Structure 1
Amino acid sequence: MYLLRRLGSWLGVAFLWSLHLLPNRAIAAVGRALGSVLYRFGRGRVTRINLALCFPEMPEAEREKLARAHFRSLGRALAEQSIFWFAPIERAMAMVKVTGGEHFDRLRGQPVIVFAPHFIGLNLGGPKVAYTWPGSASIYSRQKNPVLDRLLYRGRVRFGSPRLLSRQDGMLAIVRTIREGRMFYFLPDMDFGPRDAIFAPFFGVPTATVTALPRLAKLARAHVVPVITRQLEDGYEVIVYPPWENYPTDDVEADVRRMNAFIEERVLEMPEQYFWAHKRFKTRPPGEPNPYQKKK
């Protein structure tokens, strides 16, 4: 069984490698088709549940259309990842433009946390930021699959040689890295369980949200700069927003609410591009059922 899994992993890598030989438009087309398959046999159910929770007023047929559009965009992003892993760096960087980069330029050398929510272009926008502003840092979680781990790690260090930290390194290691003047690329909008999280509204749903962003910003005395990567018709756009003023405050709950409210605003601008396939609401307040558990 182990050898079969390894063989399957290498076949997947070979497929991705072959994709990067195609023109960009062909890769995008293959990716959209792949996304349609993933919707049917992958996490379509999770996405439908998430959309029903966040957009209860939306007609079911419209949510279904949105879910399918999400998976087509997600599949395209996965396929285009092959360019970032295997193609020349110049080709990958040409796919992504930056808007608002002057906000990073003004803060060069200062402690900065790049607040990067989970939109589907995240793994293509991140390398653009690391390459354009070398000396960044982020968290890297080791993968159980050694083939996938090697591929992901190589892809992460390929652009701008970022420093990769482990969650096991702890908060102080991250704070020291930020204080050194490295931009810390941070993705705090996932359900990591109840530890170090509070329930804050996300589209009106009480959502377990980690408090690490305001806590890190306070400990490192860092500027928080939101960054969104948008998938375009012919590439991607990294949008760098102005640093947040008066953040963090002494009210952690208010700071977390501000973070979720910012994500909500961006989701409404491009609802098909948020990462709806993640079980964002699996951690519930006491007494509330897990919405993803199938009823017996």
Structure 2
Amino acid sequence: MADTDSKGDPQGRSSAIISLFLQPSPKYWLLGLAILLLSAISHLPYRILLSLGRAIGAMIYRSGGRVKHIANVNITRCYPSLAPEAQQRILQQSFRELGISVVETFRVWFGDAEKFYGSRTKLEGEDHWRAALARERGIILLSCHYGSLDLNATLAGLQVRKYRKYAFTYRKPSDQLVDRFLVEKRTPYADHFFPVNNLVGIIRLLKKQGVVWYAPDIEVKNKNSVFANFMGIPASTTAGLSKLAQAGNAVILPFGHYRNSDNTYTLKFFPPLEGFPSEDAVADTRQINRAIEHIIRPFPERYWWTIKRFKNRPAGEPPFY
């Protein structure tokens, strides 16, 4: 599915869910039941929903295992100057925040995100957003795996679609039914929904001065990847954003979303990247990683430390995990 304008059903009674119960394999029935349960849970009072998310994250933390080991390695490597007690606090909090991001995602999928989140979100850095618009070029919204990706992309869409056509990008799952569900739940808040490898669709939209949401901080190792510092550590990172920006004549605009203490949200735009792209792929990618560092700095515990950000190492370096 390269591109879709499917709008889905914000109340969760979708054809994608129904199709799960029509499959011969019981695993899809169980998935359908789980989704229906999550749909009901997502409409709990918001404070209760967030508390439930914290509890889910704490349970995952207590269960330990491989995912906790990965997060611990990432945090101790990225924050070597912190005392062990401070590193452990970030580790524990990161799992609670991961649980919160899960329930925030359910609230986007099974509720009216525009009505619910739009009314409790304020905009910061509007001057940077307007500066990007004034260049009359396509815009790549630079995001990362920080908090709920669906909430992040949806909040951006509520702002962007007042001015430009807007597209999510995503890594398409191999299961077609899961893919159908994701498309159905996400596209009410975007004009297009592109798999990340649909370069033709992405570039075409950028050339029409559209806006594309993109999160490049997943570990990759291919001909388009380079080692560029992230938190002071060489990290295998896609250099594809430079090529997309060049091909689509696009501005790179970093942004993040932040949950406030009163459970309202802030959507924050940072200054557009300058001198991007350049002739130096490593320098460009380092600039991307530096922008991501700025995004996660206010609440480092909300970054997805459970991903293997440093799985691939430069030649001769020992593995991290």
Same fold, TM exceeding 0.5? yes
Question: 1:136: how far off?
Answer: 0.6
Q: 1:267 maps to what in 2? A: 296
For the Cα contact (< 8 Å) 2:254–2:292, is it kept in 1?
A: no
Structure 2 residue identity aligned to 1:277: T
**One-letter identity of the residue aligned with 2:286:** R
**8 Å contact 2:105–2:149 — kept in the other structure?**
no
Assess if the C-alpha contact under 8 Å between 1:125 and 1:237 holds in 2.
no
Map residues 1-296 of structure 1 onto 2, 5 A cutoff.
3-41=25-63, 43-89=67-113, 90-106=115-131, 107=133, 110-134=137-161, 135-146=165-176, 148-159=178-189, 161-170=190-199, 172-233=200-261, 234-292=263-321
Q: For 1:32, give the aligned amino acid.
A: R
How much has 1:23 moved relative to structure 2? 0.7
Q: 2:33 and 2:290 mapped to 1: Cα distance?
A: 41
Q: 1:153-192, CA deviations, whole angstroms, 9 ceiling, x for partnerless residues?
A: 1221011x3211223433x432222111110111111102
The Cα of 1:221 is off from its aligned counterpart by 1.6
Unaligned runs of 5+ in 2: 1-23
Superposed displacement of residue 17, structure 1: 0.6
Pairwise CA distance, 1:124: 0.7
Q: Distance in 2 between matches of 1:98 and 1:148?
A: 33
- Partners of 1:44 and 1:95 lie apart in 2 by 33
Contact 1:130/1:162 (CA < 8 Å) preserved in 2? no
CA-CA distance at 1:286 after TM superposition: 2.1
1:10–1:147 Cα contact (<8 Å) kept? no
* 1:201/1:260 contact within 8 Å kept: yes
**Distance in 2 between the 1:227 and 1:20 partners?**
26
Distance 1:10 1:76, change over 3 A: same
Q: SS of the residue aligned with 1:143?
A: coil
Give 1:31's aligned amino acid: G
1:142–1:252 distance in 2 versus 1, CA, 3 Å: closer
Equivalent-residue separation in structure 2 for 1:54 and 1:137 (angstroms)? 32
Q: Percentage identity across aligned positions?
A: 27
Deviation at 1:61?
2.6
Q: Deviations over 1:189-226 (max 9, x none)?
A: 11022431111111221100111122221222211111
Question: 2:153 touches 2:168 (CA, 8 Å); kept in 1?
Answer: no
Contact 1:118 1:189 in 2 (8 A): yes
- Structure 2 CA distance for aligned equivalents of residues 61 and 287 of structure 1: 31
Q: In structure 2, what residue type is equivalent to 1:25?
A: R
Aligned-residue CA RMSD (Å): 2.1
- Whole-angstrom CA distance in 2 between matches of 1:121 and 1:101: 22
Give the drift of 1:146. Answer: 4.9
Equivalent residues of 2:122, 2:266 under 8 A apart: yes
Greater displacement, 111-120 / 34-43: 34-43
Q: Where in structure 1 do 4 or more consecutive aligned residues deviate above 4 Å?
A: none
Using the TM superposition, give the Cα deviation of residue 4 of structure 1 relative to its aligned residue in structure 2, in angstroms: 4.3
- TM-score normalised to the size of structure 2? 0.82
Gaps of at least 5 residues in structure 1 are: none
Distance 1:262 1:140 in 2: 20
Deviations for 1:101-142, whole angstroms, at most 9, x for unmatched residues? 343345175311111122114321211221332221132333
TM-score by length of 1: 0.89
- The number of equivalent residue pairs is 289
Deviating more after overlay: 55-64 vs 182-191: 55-64
Q: Name the SS of the counterpart of 1:30 in structure 2.
A: helix
